[in-house]
Structure formats: structure tokens, C-alpha cells
Structure 1
Amino acid sequence: MPPKKASWIPDQHGAWAMLTVPFLVGTFLSPEPGRQHALLLAAWLLGYAAVFHAQQWLRLRRVAARRPEVARRHVRPALVLGAATALAGIPLAVLQPWLLLAGAAAAPCVAVNTWFAWLGWERALVNGLVAVVPACGMLLVAARLGGGGLPWAPAAACLLYFAGTVPYVKTMIRERNSFTYYRGSVAYHAAATALAALLSPWLAIPFAGYLARAAVLPGRGLRAPVIGAVELVCSAALSVSLLLIY
């Protein structure tokens, strides 16, 4: 039976903010946001979905070898979404050949994530942190595409925030009983707040809020929708802060 349409959309809900926030911030920080940004965003999101299904196919071929149909349901989405990515991305690569270099720079991170997927270690802390790097790097790509420079400070702020979401979310769900994870998450957020203040004193305000949520919310038994809603607010606060400051 072919997969339902809904199954084509990756169920990694936390990834969508990480994929879109840096991109949109870079777009609106650029002097000339335009149609090419819309095309690049389409290629970016479609590419993520295609890679997700390809990685799931690899993972399930290994861990569910006795049920090949489980892996096969990811083949069609991977191929169709990959083709859609090419349709959106090739015209951009012709118009802006430097985007190929940006893609090459992201390739090692994608390779690492694919390796972890094949091993079945997708939830590993290192895997999550590696995935943050190209996502935040899209801020630089989007800004450059709009005729701007390379705004390293906003990209670094995004990296500090989204890297912190990886251990924080674990303290809320999979590692909610681990004091080691909790202590590490709080320590990271304290350090991130100090580093963000070096980028801009104004950034200390939202990052102090991120530190507070990392210290206070774990252990309170919050349901997944509430955790997700909090992260949406935090992501929105980061976006607004960066656009106002820079």
C-alpha cells in the first residue's frame, strides 16, 4: 500500500523552527529579499524532507531487515521530494553558482547525520548538535542571496539558541529523569547567555529567558504540545530580537 500523503511530511516537529527561523532572519536582514529567497526556501525544505526519507530508508533497512516493506514506504517520498528539490534548486544554482559551495559546506554535516541514522542513533546528542550547524548557516546563505554580507553575529546567536534546544528537549522528554542531562543543559544555557551578551547586550534578555526555562520547566510533567508551544514562543522571541538588534 502506498504511503499516505501525510506520511511524506517528516514528523520531526522541532526541526521546522530550526529550518525556518535562521533562514527567515537572514532573508529579512538582507537588503533585497525577493523571489529567489522563496525558491531557495522551497529547495531547502524539500531537500530536508527528501534527506529525511532517504535516511529513514537506510535506518529501517538495517533495523527492520525482516520487514522490507517498512523501509520501502520511504522510497517514493525520497525520490519525489528529491526531484522536487532539484527542480527548485537547479535554476538557483545556475543563477547563483556560489550556492553550490554552500551546499558542499553542509555536506559533511548531512553525511554525519546519515551515518547516525544508519546506525539507528538518530536521537544521539551529537547527531542533534551536528544538524544545527547547517540550519543556522542558512542565515548567512539567505543574507548573501539578498545582496548582503555575512552577518556572523545573528548566525552565532541562532547557533547558541538552537544548540541549546537539543539537550533541553531531552531533559523534557527522553532524559527527563537524568540529573546529568539537566545539569549539563542548565550549564550550557548559562554559558550561552554570557556569550550572547558578548554578541549584543540586548541578546542577554531573551537568552536569560531561555536559561530560566531550561532551569525551571524540566520535571514539571509538561505534555508535548505545551513543550512545543514554549519553543515556538522562544523561536519567535529570537527572530524578533535579531531583526530589531541587527
Structure 2
Amino acid sequence: MKVLIPKQHGAWAMLVIPFLLGMVGGGAHLRHIPLFVGWLFLYLAAFPLTMIAKKKNIAYYQKWAVAYSIPAVSLLLASVLMEPGLVLLGLSLFPMFLINLYYARKNNDRALLNDIAAIIVFSAGGLASYWTGAGTLDGWAWFVFTQSILFFVGSAFYVKSMIREKKNKRFKWYSWGYHVILPFLSVVFGAGWAVLGFIPSSIRALLLYGRKLSVKKIGILELVNACVFMAVVSVFLLTI
């Protein structure tokens, strides 16, 4: 049977980057292994659950939901036993998951609010990772969380303005407006010189809008941009 893998390619960067930044900021530890694998399987389990909410091929997606949920729950439970406070973080994210299920039920997965809810959940992976390494949630943990949200919300605005909303002039101004203030927002939330990791996002949002780029090329450029963001913030965290 063919393995069921979510098709939202951009989500992989959201899954991995905040988690890695949390490791950089809080310190790497062997405890990160079960946490990350459990986090990965939780993401994989979320996809068939949203398909079930859409009432699409329920029997098929139920099998995959169970198959992914068992290792996810097992590994995340092991992480919670090592760091019990993580359960509070998980519970706090439950409303975001309900928002995702709501939009899945409405068959409107691409809604901006749905994307933002998912971004908050993915960015919280940085909190969990930092907590697991440092044993606490301090200001730098929240720095990783907020900077990740700011970056990926910008990515959501940009990609929508280039694909689904490319003919929506009002959305263009939403995207441009957000990216103009994005560097200032990052500084307000403590970026310091790490604001340099946001500059490429603002430049590409303003200069590439309206250009005829394939979906594949847009995705590749976003991956490169995300790697630049991660590299700059990582160096910043290592030098504080």
C-alpha cells in the first residue's frame, strides 16, 4: 500500500525550522529524538484527520490516522514523561487544531486564518524543542516562537499573492503592507541584527509579485528563503 504523505510541501519547512531553532537556542539533547519523531508523526496523523473531517474516503483515512497516531502518541508521551510541562503546551494548541478541522470541514483549507492557526502550531514546535533542551521556557524560547510566526505568516501572504490570490489586487496590498512592516515587527520582538533574515522576504514580496513564476519555482525560492532565515536566526542565537 502506498504511503500516505501530505502534499503541502511548504509545511515541511514550518515543521522543521522552528524545531531546529529551538534546539539551537535551548541546546541539543538526545531527548530531542523522540520529541521530533513524535512531532513528525503527529503532523502526518493530522492530514488524514482533516480528510476524515471532509468526509472523504473515511475508511481509508481512518487506517492512516491510526497508523500515524500510535507512534505519535507513544513518542510524545515519552517526551512528556521526561518534561511533564510539555503537556500544557500541547493542550494550549488544541484550539488551533479545532480551527484547522473547522476549515477542513468547510473544504476551505487555504483560508488565511486556517494557515495562521497551522503556523502557530508549527512554531510551537520551537517552544517544545527549546523547553526540552533548556528545561525551561525563557524569553529566548518565545523569541524563537514569535520570529517563526512572523516569518511564516509572511510566507503565507506571499505565496497566496502569487498563486491563489494573484488576481486579487486588494490581497496584493495586504501582502505588501505586511512585508513592509515585517522587519520592524521582528525588531520589536527582539530580532536585533537577526532582522537581516527577514529582509529577503520583504524584497521578494515586493519585487516578484506579478511575475510569471511556476508553482515549483515559487516553492523552491521559498525553501531557499526559509533556509536563509533559519541560518541568520541560528547564528544570532549562537552569539547571544
Instruction: Return the TM-score normalized by structure 1.
Output: 0.90
Q: State the SS of the aligned residue for 1:74.
A: helix
Which residue of 36, 53, 68 corresponds with 1:81? 68
**Residues 178-217 of structure 1 correspond to what in structure 2 (within 5 A)?**
178-198=168-188, 199-217=190-208
The equivalent residue for 1:223 is: 214
Backbone CA RMSD of aligned residues = 1.5
Which residue of 32, 38, 41 corresponds with 1:43? 38
Tell me, in whole angstroms, the C-alpha distance in 2 between the residues paired with 1:200 and 1:165. Answer: 18
Which one-letter code corresponds to 1:92 in the other structure?
S
Tell me, in whole angstroms, the C-alpha distance in 1 between the residues paired with 2:96 and 2:185. Answer: 24
Tell me, in whole angstroms, the C-alpha distance in 1 between the residues paired with 2:216 and 2:24. Answer: 29
Which one-letter code corresponds to 1:205 in the other structure?
L
**Residues 1-246 of structure 1 correspond to what in structure 2 (within 5 A)?**
4-5=2-3, 8-31=4-27, 33-59=28-54, 61=55, 70-147=57-134, 149-150=137-138, 151=140, 152-198=142-188, 199-246=190-237
Which one-letter code corresponds to 1:54 in the other structure?
L
Which one-letter code corresponds to 1:137 in the other structure?
A
Gaps of 5+ in 1: 65-69
Which one-letter code corresponds to 1:230 in the other structure?
L
Tell me, in whole angstroms, the C-alpha distance in 2 between the residues paired with 1:200 and 1:50. Answer: 33
Q: State the SS of the aligned residue for 2:70.
A: helix
- Percent identity reads 28
Give how far 1:193 is off. 1.3
Tell me, in whole angstroms, the C-alpha distance in 2 between the residues paired with 1:77 and 1:209. Answer: 38
Tell me, in whole angstroms, the C-alpha distance in 1 between the residues paired with 2:98 and 2:192. Answer: 36
Tell me, in whole angstroms, the C-alpha distance in 2 between the residues paired with 1:12 and 1:121. Answer: 14
Instruction: Return the TM-score normalized by structure 2.
Output: 0.92
Tell me, in whole angstroms, the C-alpha distance in 2 between the residues paired with 1:100 and 1:154. Answer: 19
Map Cα deviations across residues 208-242 of structure 1 (whole Å, 9 max, x no partner): 21111111112211112211111111111111111
Tell me, in whole angstroms, the C-alpha distance in 1 between the residues paired with 2:181 and 2:87. Answer: 34
Gaps of 5+ in 2: none
Tell me, in whole angstroms, the C-alpha distance in 1 between the residues paired with 2:74 and 2:187. Answer: 42
Q: State the SS of the aligned residue for 1:104.
A: helix
Give how far 1:105 is off. 1.0
* Alignment CA distance shift 1:28-1:225 (3 Å): same
Size of the alignment, in residue pairs? 233
